[in-house]
């Protein structure tokens, strides 16, 4: 498994680490527990890291030297070949592998070369797509679209988290539908479990040092795509003047610090700075306490291929108010497990947030429905499907460009 630009060992919510880190970490662990020896190759991202780490039996992380440790994400395309060389050197010295699984387009570029070099089947999960991001005003490096199209044309299987992502691969890139496999991510139900029983929300809030006021929760990296500023603007428009907003996450990407400053300035200008609390990124398993403490979770992203935050919140029994985009439309059942919002009008968002807070019975029904829905998403299920897929592909001739 290749995860060039971000490591499953890194803290989600810091820098370029986010839902993809969780995906790679949880999926690789589940594959190992299902009997699939899994090695994740990442670019060395910090000095002092061991060459090989083993988070679990059968699950290794190998750090490959490719460019300076401090290299910015925007400059990583320049070292893709160096990264691929490092991976090839390790694979050439070990027992043969059955398949390559690339995560994100940078890893896809490296894995595409290795596929031909080593004659291995290639599975690719893109997580985000340049043409989808362009549709919402997020422009990616020159050449990314061409690279994605080339990988899509040669991958033996493309993994999509939901039907919406599968449709994007077909409609925007001309992907062959019979080479797309829909494999939804999972959630660790041992950590992300319901918190709506009497006293549990109060207990979570006490443990986190939170008060009794209605609480909205935003979890994610602070970057324009995630639109934390829209959550702040919606708070300012709400009828409920006692509501508070907790933002858990840190600045990400080239515009991260600027975006964080913009969100803070917006809170000041809107007169809600005293009702907005910024919390540094938290260890992934500890996020469950924040979800259980919240009255609702707000996910206003411009685009989401899946939306792991919404799924984790649902597993904790917390209603979600989310943008009606991408994978969020497959996780949030509008009016049943939460609410979906079209557009970016803060007043419209505020009305939806007020509606959830004002309807105690409806909110409780959403919480129960969310938990039932989330139980269908597990990492062992995803790993089981991929084990069968890898086995099948290993017995076939690889697709050619």
pLDDT tens digits, residue range 131-184? 998 887 777 887 999 999 999 999 999 999 999 999 999 999 999 999 999 999
Would you place residue 16 in the very low, low, confident or very high pLDDT band (cuts 50, 70, 90)?
low
275-325 per-position pLDDT tens digit: 999 999 998 888 999 999 999 999 999 989 889 999 999 999 999 999 999
Q: What pLDDT was estimated at residue 32?
A: 96
Q: Is residue 336 part of a domain?
A: yes
Host domain of residue 24: 19-186+379-394
Question: Helices 19-33 and 379-394, interaxial angle, to 10°?
Answer: 70
Q: Is residue 39 part of a domain?
A: yes
Which residues, in sequence order, are CB contacts of 353 under 8 Å at separation 6+?
216, 234, 235, 238, 240, 243, 296, 298, 321
Q: Kindly give the residue spans of alpha helices, DSSP state H, lying in 42-162.
A: 80-92, 104-118, 130-135, 144-154
Domain match, 244 and 294 both: yes
Instruction: Answer whether residue 192 shows pLDDT above 90.
Output: yes
Domain match, 249 and 355 both: yes
Instruction: Answer whether residue 378 shows pLDDT above 90.
Output: yes
Read off the pTM: 0.91
Query: Between the CA of residue 159 and those of 155, 265, 311, 321, what are the distances in Å?
Result: 10, 40, 18, 26
Q: What pLDDT was estimated at residue 332?
A: 95
Give the distance between the most distant pair of CA atoms in the chain: 64
Q: Is residue 385 part of a domain?
A: yes
Which residues, in sequence order, are CB contacts of 225 under 8 Å at separation 6+?
133, 136, 138, 301, 302, 303
- Supply the DSSP symbol for 71: -
Instruction: Answer whether residue 82 shows pLDDT above 80.
Output: yes
Domain match, 181 and 286 both: no
Mean predicted confidence (pLDDT) in 202-222: 91
Instruction: Answer whether residue 17 shows pLDDT above 80.
Output: no
Would you place residue 70 in the very low, low, confident or very high pLDDT band (cuts 50, 70, 90)?
confident
Instruction: Answer whether residue 248 shows pLDDT above 80.
Output: yes
Query: Between the CA of residue 215 and those of 231, 282, 308, 326, 350, what are the distances in Å?
Result: 12, 18, 20, 26, 13
Mean predicted confidence (pLDDT) in 61-66: 96
Q: Between residues 193 and 10, which one has the greater pLDDT? A: 193
SS3 at position 78? helix
Number of folded domains that form the chain: 2
Q: What value, to the nearest 5°, has the Cα angle with vertex 304 and ends 260 and 36? A: 110
Would you place residue 46 in the very low, low, confident or very high pLDDT band (cuts 50, 70, 90)?
confident
Lowest mean pLDDT among 57-66, 81-90, 299-308: 299-308
Q: Is residue 6 part of a domain?
A: no
Domain match, 341 and 283 both: yes
Domain match, 323 and 264 both: yes
Mean predicted confidence (pLDDT) in 349-354: 98
Domain match, 177 and 218 both: no
């Amino acid at each position: 498994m290749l995860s060039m630009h971000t490591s499953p060992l890194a803290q989600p919510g810091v820098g370029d680490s986010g839902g993809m880190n969780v995906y790679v970490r949880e999926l690789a662990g589940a594959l190992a527990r299902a009997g699939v020896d899994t090695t994740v190759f990442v670019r060395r991202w910090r000095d002092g890291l061991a060459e090989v780490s083993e988070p679990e039996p059968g699950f290794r992380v190998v750090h490959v030297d490719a460019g300076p440790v401090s290299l910015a994400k925007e400059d990583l395309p320049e070292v893709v070949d160096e990264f691929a060389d490092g991976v090839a050197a390790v694979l050439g010295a070990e027992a043969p592998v059955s398949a390559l699984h690339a995560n994100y387009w940078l890893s896809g570029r490296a894995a595409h070369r290795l596929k031909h070099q080593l004659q291995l089947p290639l599975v690719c999960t893109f997580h985000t797509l340049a043409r989808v991001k362009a549709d919402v005003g997020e422009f990616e490096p020159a050449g990314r679209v061409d690279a994605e199209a080339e990988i899509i044309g040669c991958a033996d299987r493309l993994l999509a988290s939901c039907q919406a992502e599968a449709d994007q691969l077909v409609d925007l890139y001309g992907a062959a539908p019979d080479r797309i496999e829909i494999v939804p991510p999972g959630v660790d139900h041992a950590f992300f479990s319901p918190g709506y029983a009497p006293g549990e929300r109060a207990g979570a809030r006490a443990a986190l040092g939170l008060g009794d006021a209605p609480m909205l929760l935003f979890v994610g990296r602070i970057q324009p795509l995630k639109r934390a500023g829209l959550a702040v603007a919606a708070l300012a428009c709400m009828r409920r003047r006692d509501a508070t907003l907790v933002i858990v996450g840190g600045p990400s990407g080239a515009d991260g610090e600027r975006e964080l400053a913009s969100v803070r300035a917006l809170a000041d200008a809107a007169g809600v700075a005293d009702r907005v609390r910024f919390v540094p990124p938290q260890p992934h398993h500890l996020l469950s306490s924040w979800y259980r403490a919240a009255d609702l979770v707000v996910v206003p992203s411009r685009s989401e291929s899946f939306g792991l935050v919404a799924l984790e919140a649902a597993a904790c029994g917390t209603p979600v108010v989310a943008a009606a985009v991408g994978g969020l439309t497959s996780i949030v059942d509008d009016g049943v497990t939460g609410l979906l919002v079209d557009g970016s009008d803060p007043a419209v968002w505020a009305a939806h947030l007020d509606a959830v807070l004002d309807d105690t019975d409806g909110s409780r029904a959403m919480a129960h429905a969310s938990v039932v829905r989330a139980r269908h998403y597990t990492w062992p299920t995803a790993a089981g499907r991929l084990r069968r897929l890898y086995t099948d592909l290993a017995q076939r001739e690889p697709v050619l460009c």
